[in-house]
Structure 1
Amino acid sequence: MLDRQAFLRPIAHRGLHDAASGIVENTAPAFEAAIAKGYGIECDLQPAADGTPLVFHDFELERLTTGSGRIDALQPGCAARLPFKGASVTGIPTFAGLLDLVAGRVPVLAEIKSDWSAPNPAFMAGIAMLATSYDGPLALMSFDPAVMAAMRNLAPGVPRGIVTGSYRYPDGKPWYPDELSDARRTALANLEESVPADPYFYAYDVRALPSPVAKRIRDDLGLPLFTWTVRTEQDRRVAAQHADAPIFEGLEP
């Protein structure tokens, strides 16, 4: 199960980053800043071309780096040399490098990114190997329940969770409009695909709280509920009332 004492604390979304100060999300300076204040770390995992787990949020490189194209077309050696925009730091971290840096000092929530296709076997195996051998509080999560069902088999001893919400933005537009049907979005929002993953926790969109589904997670299933991404005072109040720990950005607790 998830170690509530270790994990239920403020979690810095993609590390304690600040673009204005040159501290880029999902990089070592952002993670060190979070560790210095005792915050947990949320990060994102994407595959390199050979499946090596890299710490990066986007599927494309352009927003944050001087590179172009998809991250899963990038060889690990190139990723290690790629400069970030507006910062002196160079190189997309590997998951192995992140875990070496954290070294058990604070909990790590690692989100496995998914494009809703079959997950890369080498990527999944690499994550499982690193997570299983890591000596520290670590949990894995994904929006895609199939990813976590696979991880249940690959790393059964590592806490796993599902990232979810209403599957609609506040303006009513659907999440993943090209990847998911309305019926599947409804099923995911109602946790209908979660059973094979046997999640130990959920991470819920703060914009959709309070919700009957989130209440069921905490009250009926008895599972911890993180909420993302807490950016405003209103978000903070909602998180305190309806979740067990905030995944925050910008507005520190």
Structure 2
Amino acid sequence: MRFTPQVRDLAWLVERPIAHRGQHDKANGNLENTESAFASAIRNNYAIECDLQITAEGDAVVFHDETLERVCEAQGMVKDFTVKQLKTYSYRIGKDRIQTLGELLDQVDGRVPLVIELKSHWNGDDALARRALKVLEPYDGPYAIMSFDPDLVAAVAEYSPYTVRGITADRAVNSYYNILSIDRRLEMRTFSHLARTRPHFVSFYFRELPYAPVQRIRAAGHPIITWTIRNEEQARLARRYSDQITFEGFAA
């Protein structure tokens, strides 16, 4: 579903706190980005943030890391496995299995908003954006797509201009970004990609606010979401400069 009216009115995106990778609680066997974590968020009427990775056959699965080993009893790159193979791997805790995007949509069924992050391999491949848009096309619930990678957000803008989209961002100074060229890092740091990404909102690292480019975007009427908020004190700080928080580890 393409939310043409909601591009003009994004109140639904920021009306409730956003559970980071679902409402997870590792200590109680409820792991991030799983059916259990999403069920908990739905019960408590939180919006859901989640992550997508691409699989070997080009499907989209709900998973944060490029590799399996941090949360699964398996090793290797997610992109090197089919959905069928991924379904055979157990998480390190709990009884859930990796979900496809389609399975997540069936579970949520429009009850809360979804804020879906496309994870990037920074190689210019927009297959994940195309797959996510195809799966989301018939979905009637509220959702938005975002990514750190301007190329993926630009792809969403090109293929489905009325889909609500955002840039996930920080000041791009972390050593992680050394894998990118200086030009790409500067583009992300200065938001000079805006002409091609045309985001409806920004999801920004709260510890690096206030930040002039983000504040200008907010002043122009675009919502700002902050991440990742882990207690009430951080929430109070984040809300000075943003319209909603993405949280984990406490009841927002």
TM bracket, shorter-chain basis: over 0.9
Q: What is the distance in 2 between the residues matched to 1:120 and 1:68?
A: 25
Matched, 1:19 2:36: no
Matched, 1:196 2:202: no
Between 1:144-153 and 1:106-115, the stretch displaced more is 144-153
Match of 1:167 in 2: 172
Relative to structure 1, is the Cα distance of residues 4 and 124 closer, same or farther in structure 2, using a 3 angstrom cutoff?
closer
Q: What is the distance in 2 between the residues matched to 1:210 and 1:232?
A: 19
Q: 8 Å contact 1:148–1:162 — kept in the other structure?
A: yes
Q: What is the distance in 1 between the residues matched to 2:23 and 2:150?
A: 27
List 4+ stretches of structure 1 deviating above 6 A: none
Q: What is the distance in 2 between the residues matched to 1:235 and 1:182?
A: 31
- 1:103-114 to 2 correspondences below 5 Å: 103-114=109-120
Tell me which amino acid in the other structure corresponds to 2:225.
F
Count of residues in correspondence between the two structures: 245
Between the aligned residues of both structures, percent identity stands at: 38
Q: 8 Å contact 1:210–1:238 — kept in the other structure?
A: no
Q: What is the distance in 2 between the residues matched to 1:176 and 1:2?
A: 33
Q: What is the distance in 2 between the residues matched to 1:183 and 1:129?
A: 31
Task: Please state whether the residue corresponding to 1:213 is helix, strand or coil.
Answer: helix
1:158 pairs, out of 155, 160, 163, with: 163
How far residue 16 of structure 1 moved from its aligned partner, in angstroms, is 0.2
Q: What is the distance in 2 between the residues matched to 1:163 and 1:2?
A: 20
What per-residue deviation string (whole Å, max 9, x for no partner) do you get for residues 57-102 of structure 1? Answer: 000000000111000001110112211002222x210000001100
- 1:112-127 to 2 correspondences below 5 Å: 112-121=118-127, 123-127=128-132
How far residue 205 of structure 1 moved from its aligned partner, in angstroms, is 0.6
TM-score, normalized by length of structure 2? 0.93
Match of 1:239 in 2: 238
Q: What is the distance in 2 between the residues matched to 1:247 and 1:103?
A: 21
- 1:171-250 to 2 correspondences below 5 Å: 173-177=174-178, 179-219=179-219, 221-250=220-249
Instruction: Give unmatched runs, 5+ long, in structure 1.
Output: none
How far residue 5 of structure 1 moved from its aligned partner, in angstroms, is 2.8
Q: 8 Å contact 2:68–2:74 — kept in the other structure?
A: yes
Q: What is the distance in 2 between the residues matched to 1:77 and 1:234?
A: 43
Matched, 1:101 2:107: yes
Q: What is the distance in 2 between the residues matched to 1:233 and 1:182?
A: 36
2:151 pairs, out of 139, 146, 149, with: 146
